[in-house]
Amino acid sequence: MDPDVSVLLHCAPWRGLRERQIQVELSSRFNRHILADAEKHIDSLWEERTKREPWLFNGAKFRLHSAKWTRPPSPTATPYNARGAQDEDKVPLETSRQQRCCSDGEGCDHTQKHTHCGGQPAVPAPETCSGDRPVVKSHSLKDTGHQRVNKPVQLSLQLGLTCYKDYLGTNWSKRVGELQKRGGVELGDPQALLAQPLGVGAVMTTADGQVVLLRRSQKVAEAAGLLDIPGGHPEPKAVCKAISEESITVELLQGREEAVLMEIFSSVLAEIRDEVNLPLSSLSEPILLGIALNHTSAGRPSAEFYVRCSLTAEEVKILYWRGGPEAHESTDVVFLRETEWLTLDDSAPLWSELCPSAKGAIILHQVVMPVKGDL
């Protein structure tokens, strides 16, 4: 099992979840816990960093506190908490690198693949934006004609708020181990004092069966020079456009849960558009594969999606080299056949060139959609 990545949850029983199958819960209870001495440390690190890099700004981010299954897939599936004990149906974030990866009997053969997940059973997976952000219109109330309260919700994401400053001062701090220990001892949750911003990533396949990877620039802060999937973060400011980032609070977001969920799904399309320079019209509805944890940044969570592109690899390459708004973040586009992607594991030479987010996406894709084009 790769120590850099683990799986918090996967959506194998449904072969991925659509936006209509997910809901968002927002509460200040899901924010990072505050300790006075930890805040001084965060402020000190931020002051040092901004002196060196004055162009940095402190953007608001969504914080993933936990995820809760609302419907089991079968009478035999029993929800587990992140430590493996039967305990209601909530999956909190945690720091263990022995996370469960594959669903019991659901599309994973431990004897052939997934040796990197440790051969353990899975956490059983049970039962509007505006402006320049893309909108997944197929699930809007106007398009469906149904109220969301009547939809078959399977998963609830419990979100608070955090920011980039807090991420650098906790998840990326040299004192993160101490913060996790204190969180576990004093609050019963090793991640309680960490920012834990929710990221998004896309396993994007082309019309001719290629998965798109980007070679990260040597100038980016994380995973410089490694191969990654397109991705980034959903932005609270996309939901609260008329409010400054510093003024966004959970209370202002409450009542806008559907817009927050739509931002999570649409943000992954926006990242593809901006990083790969593809038109939104060429991209399919995102399908959630699951949530992976990046242990090089203390278990930071990322929601990984599957997206199909109607363009060929050659067409994608041409558009990429024309440059998009975030072209500076990568130096090359790389293609890998989806059939090869679906058999890739940590024994392959390419594995060492991959970012943790790409590794997590591979594991989730192989668990949730083990067959090419399996939807």
Q: Does residue 39 belong to any structural domain of this protein?
A: yes
Q: Does residue 178 belong to any structural domain of this protein?
A: yes
Nearest in space to 66 (alpha carbons), one of 214, 196, 220, 171 = 196
Report whether pLDDT(350) > 90. yes
In the prediction, which pLDDT does 375 show?
Answer: 59
DSSP string, 67-105: EEESS-SSTT---B-TTSSBBTBEEE----S----B-TT
Nearest in space to 204 (alpha carbons), one of 324, 323, 312, 62 = 312
pLDDT digits (tens, 9 = 90+) for 126-168: 332 223 334 443 333 223 333 333 457 899 999 999 999 999 9
Tokens 């200040």 -> residue: 28
Q: Does residue 294 belong to any structural domain of this protein?
A: yes
pLDDT digits (tens, 9 = 90+) for 187-246: 999 999 999 999 999 999 999 999 999 999 988 777 889 999 999 999 999 999 889 988
In the prediction, which pLDDT does 220 show?
Answer: 79
Residue 309 sits in which domain range? 5-72+152-368
For residue 111, give the 3-state DSSP assignment. Answer: coil
Taking each helix axis as running N to C, give the angle between helix 257-276 and helix 313-322, from 0 to 180 degrees, rounded to the nearest 10. Answer: 90
**pLDDT mean over 334-353:** 96
What does DSSP assign to residue 272?
A: H
Tokens 């090869």 -> residue: 340
Q: Does residue 128 belong to any structural domain of this protein?
A: no
Q: Does residue 141 belong to any structural domain of this protein?
A: no
Q: Is the dihedral of CA 134, 139, 143, 149 positive or negative?
A: negative
Is pTM beyond 0.85 here?
no
What is the pLDDT confidence band of residue 106, given thresholds at 50, 70 and 90? very low
Burial (CB count within 10 angstroms: exposed 0-12, middle 13-18, buried 19+), residue 208: middle
Pairing of strands 300-308, 199-205: parallel
Q: Give the bridge partners for 26, in sequence order.
A: 159
Average pLDDT score over the chain? 82
Distances in Å between the Cα of 24 and the Cα atoms of 6, 127, 159 are 23, 16, 7
Q: Does residue 190 belong to any structural domain of this protein?
A: yes
Nearest in space to 313 (alpha carbons), one of 215, 214, 216, 209 = 209
The Cα 284–Cα 306 span in angstroms is 9
Report the alpha-carbon angle 15-223-112, nearest 5: 40
**R_g of the chain, CA atoms, integer Å:** 19
For residue 282, which amino acid is it? S
The Cα 12–Cα 170 span in angstroms is 32
Report the alpha-carbon angle 220-223-227, nearest 5: 105
Q: Give alpha helix (H) positions in 192-256.
A: 250-253
Estimate to the nearest angstrom the gap between the alpha carbon of 96 and the chain centroid.
18
Please tell me the total count of domains within the chain.
1
Q: Give the bridge partners for 200, in sequence order.
A: 232, 303
Estimate to the nearest angstrom the gap between the alpha carbon of 127 and the chain centroid.
21
CATH number of the domain enclosing 259: 3.90.79.10
Buried b (16+ CB within 10 A) or exposed e, 228-250: bbbbbbbbbbbbbeeeebeebeb
The Cα 135–Cα 265 span in angstroms is 8
Q: Does residue 97 belong to any structural domain of this protein?
A: no
Q: Does residue 320 belong to any structural domain of this protein?
A: yes
